């Protein structure tokens, strides 16, 4: 969540900054303040629109790949704990939990304490958290300012009869009807309100000001009302909250205020001497004690801006238009629309294939963690292989070795270890053992290496037995233990058989080694690669001609092609194909809403079990990494 906010924040900040820079440059070439103000307002609308567009997922953009939206750090054990809460099953006893802790101490090396600088990798989360704090502070400031203004208006009183008469006379000329109030809580005139604007004068000015001064000040404030300047400050407030403390936004805000004041000053000076009106402004500024309240149009500026106002007032022959023409506004809106669309189409992050792959893998890992059985394994009624596949997929996706779910899974696998060094229950000893050994290889600890060596001896003996007399080893084990498998396919019983249903892979031999290391010059890799290039497709299992065993085929193909070192395959029916990209797209499109995968077209070889198919899919995605 925080990383996605950071992605949005970076993309939005860069995009809005580019638009603001272009707008500020264009405003320098515009002589009329009304044109500057309108262009600035349209730019603010464009910035807010780009912020909203960057928050919409799935919108195609050109990614510069400068920032990874889903970094490896998101796949840590802490992230998974935060994502699904406590993954420990509710009916796991305290005894089992204690045994899990003991197993973690013996089989998994303790994680070293990370130095302080290691936490720098979480800068994305920190930046997003800082933005949320700033957003909250801006919302609080906005709310307090609005409440303060409401209080000022509520406590203000009606003006004197003379001042009210002057105000009514000016209203008739301006064709507007904002009420006039007098307040002791302010020291400068202000205009507040969008739907129901009101003009508030400080009591000192209303009492001591001359008729000429009051007339000029009222003309100034009524010009703000007639032009709807309060809407501009509401827009500025919203942009300030959503876009954060961007210095470019402050510069644009200054230009907007200057443009409004130039126009209002010109309207006020039309009915009086410009020098006298300038003197009135100086007196108001000298009497001001604090900065103006946000959301108001107030007669106050910094010294440099005040100098610009005085210079424009006292310069003869300067023409100031009060409103923008409709045609000019339409042209400016079109220019901002085109610029915003072009800038918003570029993203620094969030659309890279690597980021999408990580997000897909992350959702699959969360699903697997939520499916763990109370025994600590996954699909334990089918033996330890599904558990070993799941553990390896989780470890390779970034789940820590000492994660509670991993510790409980290792306890379960250890419980099915046999005296001959194998890991199995009632069927396929070499298959289950080989996958368990591959899981230990992913753990990569001294204890895991010892388990691997013992398991290799078991596999070697099994291979020698089946080479001497095909099927004899299985028959011996079944006759001596009276084991009957109800889950294995009868065609898979002969160790030396080459089954086309697995893509010309020797089931009991190569499938057992498939989860371990394979070299590019290995004869099985060479034969398998040649077969895949001749039969390449992802729409079906080419060996069966159907969807049977489809996800296992994906894994076998990815494992084989990665071992071969080939970046692409060249099927006879069409040109070279990037097998990694094709597999990633196929699996990303097939992922279900809960993060799992399922072979809905065929239940054969347990591919109607979401847990097993999800493990296959995640392992396949991991094989496609470059």
Are 392 and 520 part of one and the same domain?
yes
CA quadruple 429, 510, 389, 410: dihedral sign: positive
The domain boundary residue, chosen from 347, 375, 404: 347
Query: pLDDT tens-digit profile of 179-232?
Result: 889 998 888 888 888 888 889 988 888 888 888 888 888 888 888 888 888 889
Average pLDDT over residues 553-580: 81
Residue 469: per-residue pLDDT = 41
- Judged against a pLDDT cut of 90, whether residue 35 lies above it is answered with yes
**3-state DSSP call for residue 190?**
strand
Average pLDDT, the chain: 76
The CA distance from 596 to 368, in Å, is 8
- Judged against a pLDDT cut of 90, whether residue 36 lies above it is answered with yes
- Pairing type for strands 62-63 and 180-183 reads unpaired
H or E element that contains 590: helix 579-590
**3-state DSSP call for residue 192?**
strand
Backbone angles phi, psi at 585, to 5 degrees: -65, -40
| DSSP string for residues in 505-547 | EEIIIIIHHTTS---TT-HHHHHHHHHHHHH--SSSBTTTTBS
Nearest CA-CA partner of 555 in 509, 620, 500, 503: 620
Whether 150 maps to a domain, the answer reads yes
Range name among 22-31, 158-167, 598-607 with the lowest pLDDT average:
158-167
Residue 505: per-residue pLDDT = 33
* 397-425 burial: b if 16+ Cβ within 10 Å, else e: bbbbbbbbbbbbbbbbbbebbeeebbbbb
Query: pLDDT tens-digit profile of 329-382?
Result: 999 999 999 999 998 887 766 555 676 788 888 889 999 999 999 999 999 998
Model confidence at 572, in pLDDT bands (50, 70, 90)? low
**3-state DSSP call for residue 106?**
helix
Query: pLDDT tens-digit profile of 160-184?
Result: 888 888 878 777 766 677 888 999 8
- Pairing type for strands 198-202 and 190-192 reads antiparallel
| DSSP string for residues in 339-390 | HHHHHHTEESSS-SHHHHHHHHHHHHHHHHHHT--TTSSSSGGG-SHHHHHH
Whether 119 maps to a domain, the answer reads no
Average pLDDT over residues 395-405: 88
Nearest CA-CA partner of 203 in 165, 156, 161: 156
Nearest CA-CA partner of 472 in 448, 496, 499: 496
Nearest CA-CA partner of 168 in 178, 155, 153: 178
Residue 495: per-residue pLDDT = 32
Are 372 and 404 part of one and the same domain?
yes
Whether 74 maps to a domain, the answer reads no
- Which one is predicted more confidently, 273 or 404? 404
Are 302 and 436 part of one and the same domain?
no
Q: How many CA atoms lie within 13 A of 340 on its CB side?
A: 21
The CA distance from 605 to 488, in Å, is 8
First to last CA, the chain: 26
Residue 6: per-residue pLDDT = 73
The CA distance from 109 to 232, in Å, is 61
C-alpha distances in Å from residue 264, one per residue of 24, 222, 320, 340: 22, 8, 10, 30
Residue 71: per-residue pLDDT = 42
Are 245 and 359 part of one and the same domain?
no
Residue 408: per-residue pLDDT = 93
Are 435 and 400 part of one and the same domain?
yes
- Pairing type for strands 498-499 and 346-347 reads unpaired
Are 443 and 529 part of one and the same domain?
yes
Contact 15, 61 (CB under 8 A): no
Average pLDDT over residues 36-50: 94
Residue 196: per-residue pLDDT = 86
Residue 360: per-residue pLDDT = 86
Range name among 264-278, 295-309, 483-497 with the lowest pLDDT average:
483-497
The CA distance from 182 to 291, in Å, is 19
- Judged against a pLDDT cut of 80, whether residue 269 lies above it is answered with yes
Backbone angles phi, psi at 198, to 5 degrees: -140, 145
Are 270 and 166 part of one and the same domain?
yes
Are 502 and 530 part of one and the same domain?
yes
Specify the number of domains making up the chain: 2
The angle formed by the CA atoms of residues 314, 317 and 319, to the nearest 5 degrees, is 100
Please report, to the nearest 10 degrees, the dihedral formed by the alpha carbons of residues 492, 496, 502, 505 taken in order: 150
- Judged against a pLDDT cut of 90, whether residue 579 lies above it is answered with no
H or E element that contains 149: helix 123-155
The CA distance from 18 to 248, in Å, is 10
How many Å separate Cα 611 from the centre of its chain?
A: 26
CA quadruple 235, 238, 241, 244: dihedral sign: negative
Residue 437: per-residue pLDDT = 86
Whether 87 maps to a domain, the answer reads no
Contact 538, 556 (CB under 8 A): no
Show the tokens assigned to 281: 């402004």
The domain boundary residue, chosen from 297, 323, 347: 347
Average pLDDT over residues 378-403: 90
Number of residues written out for the chain: 626
The CA distance from 342 to 347, in Å, is 11
Lateral strand order in the sheet of 180-183: 180-183, 198-202, 190-192, 297-298
- Which one is predicted more confidently, 334 or 529? 334
**3-state DSSP call for residue 66?**
coil
Query: pLDDT tens-digit profile of 73-115?
Result: 344 434 444 444 434 443 333 333 443 344 333 333 333 444 4
CB neighbours of 586 closer than 8 A, spacing ≥ 6? 538, 554
Whether 117 maps to a domain, the answer reads no
Residue 207: per-residue pLDDT = 87
Are 153 and 298 part of one and the same domain?
yes
Average pLDDT over residues 233-252: 88
Are 376 and 308 part of one and the same domain?
no
Whether 73 maps to a domain, the answer reads no
Show the tokens assigned to 369: 């963690």
Q: How many CA atoms lie within 13 A of 478 on its CB side?
A: 11
Contact 107, 406 (CB under 8 A): no
Give residue for tokens 């249903």: 501
Whether 423 maps to a domain, the answer reads yes
CATH of the domain at 379: 1.50.10
The CA distance from 113 to 279, in Å, is 68
Are 435 and 477 part of one and the same domain?
yes
**3-state DSSP call for residue 157?**
strand
Backbone angles phi, psi at 414, to 5 degrees: -65, -30
Query: pLDDT tens-digit profile of 455-505?
Result: 888 877 776 655 444 433 333 333 333 333 333 333 333 333 332 333 333
Whether 21 maps to a domain, the answer reads yes
CA quadruple 529, 534, 536, 542: dihedral sign: negative
The CA distance from 578 to 288, in Å, is 70
The domain boundary residue, chosen from 347, 366, 399: 347
Model confidence at 296, in pLDDT bands (50, 70, 90)? low
**3-state DSSP call for residue 439?**
helix
Residue 209: per-residue pLDDT = 81
Range of the domain at 226: 2-68+124-347
Average pLDDT over residues 16-35: 93
**Sequence-ordered strand ranges (E) for 59-152:** 62-63
H or E element that contains 63: strand 62-63
Model confidence at 40, in pLDDT bands (50, 70, 90)? very high
> Which letter does DSSP use for residue 423 in this model?
B
Are 8 and 155 part of one and the same domain?
yes
Backbone angles phi, psi at 319, to 5 degrees: -95, 130
């Amino acid at each position: 969540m925080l990383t996605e906010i950071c992605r949005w924040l970076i993309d939005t900040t860069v995009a809005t900054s580019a638009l603001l820079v272009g707008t500020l440059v264009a405003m320098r070439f515009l002589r009329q303040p009304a044109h500057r103000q309108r262009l600035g307002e349209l730019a603010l609308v464009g910035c807010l629109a780009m912020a909203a567009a960057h928050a919409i997922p799935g919108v195609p953009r050109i990614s510069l790949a400068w920032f990874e939206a889903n970094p490896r750090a998101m796949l840590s054990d802490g992230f998974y704990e935060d994502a699904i809460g406590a993954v420990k099953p509710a009916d796991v006893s305290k005894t089992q939990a204690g045994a899990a802790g003991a197993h973690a101490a013996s089989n998994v090396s303790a994680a070293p304490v990370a130095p302080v600088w290691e936490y720098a990798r979480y800068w994305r989360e920190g930046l997003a958290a800082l933005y949320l704090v700033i957003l909250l502070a801006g919302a609080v400031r906005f709310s307090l300012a609005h409440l303060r203004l409401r209080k000022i208006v509520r406590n203000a009183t009606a003006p004197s009869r003379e001042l009210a008469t002057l105000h009514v006379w000016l209203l008739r000329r301006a064709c507007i009807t904002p009420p006039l109030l007098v307040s002791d809580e302010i020291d400068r005139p202000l205009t507040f309100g969008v739907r129901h604007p009101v003009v508030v004068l400080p009591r000192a000015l209303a009492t001591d000001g001359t008729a000429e001064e009051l007339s000029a000040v009222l003309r100034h404030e009524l010009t703000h009302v007639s032009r709807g300047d309060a809407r501009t400050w509401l827009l500025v407030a919203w942009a300030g909250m959503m876009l954060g403390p961007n210095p470019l936004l402050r510069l644009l805000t200054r230009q907007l205020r200057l443009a409004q004041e130039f126009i209002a000053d010109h309207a006020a000076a039309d009915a009086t001497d410009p020098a006298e009106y300038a003197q009135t402004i100086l007196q108001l500024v000298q009497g001001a004690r604090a900065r103006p309240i946000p959301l108001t149009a107030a007669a106050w500026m910094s010294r440099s801006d005040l100098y610009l106002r005085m210079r424009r007032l006292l310069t003869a022959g300067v023409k100031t238009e009060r409103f923008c023409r409709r045609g000019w506004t339409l042209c400016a809106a079109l220019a901002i629309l085109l610029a915003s669309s072009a800038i918003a189409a570029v993203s620094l992050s969030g659309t890279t294939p690597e980021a999408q792959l990580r997000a897909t893998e992350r959702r699959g890992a969360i699903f697997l963690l939520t499916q763990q059985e109370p025994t600590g394994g996954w699909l334990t009624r089918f033996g330890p292989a599904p558990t070993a596949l799941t553990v390896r997929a989780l470890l390779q996706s970034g789940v820590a070795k000492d994660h509670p779910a991993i510790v409980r899974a290792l306890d379960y696998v250890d419980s099915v270890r046999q005296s001959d060094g194998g890991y199995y229950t009632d069927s396929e000893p070499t298959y289950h053992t080989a996958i368990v050994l591959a899981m230990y290889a992913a753990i990569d600890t001294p204890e895991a290496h010892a388990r691997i060596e013992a398991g290799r001896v078991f596999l070697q003996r099994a291979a020698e037995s089946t080479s001497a007399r095909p099927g004899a080893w299985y028959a011996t084990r079944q006759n001596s233990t009276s084991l009957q498998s109800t889950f294995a396919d009868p065609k898979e019983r002969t160790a030396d058989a080459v089954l086309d249903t697995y893509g010309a892979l020797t089931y009991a031999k190569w499938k057992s080694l498939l989860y371990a290391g394979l070299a590019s010059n290995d004869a099985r890799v060479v034969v398998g690669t040649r077969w895949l290039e001749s039969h390449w497709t992802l729409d079906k299992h080419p060996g069966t001609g159907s969807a049977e065993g489809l996800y296992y085929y994906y894994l076998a193909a990815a494992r084989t092609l990665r071992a071969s070192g080939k970046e692409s395959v060249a099927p006879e029916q069409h040109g070279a194909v990037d097998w990694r990209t094709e597999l990633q797209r196929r699996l990303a499109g097939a992922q279900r809403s809960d993060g799992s995968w399922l072979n809905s077209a065929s239940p054969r070889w347990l591919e109607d079990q979401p847990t097993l198919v999800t493990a296959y899919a995640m392992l396949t995605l991991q094989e496609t990494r470059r």
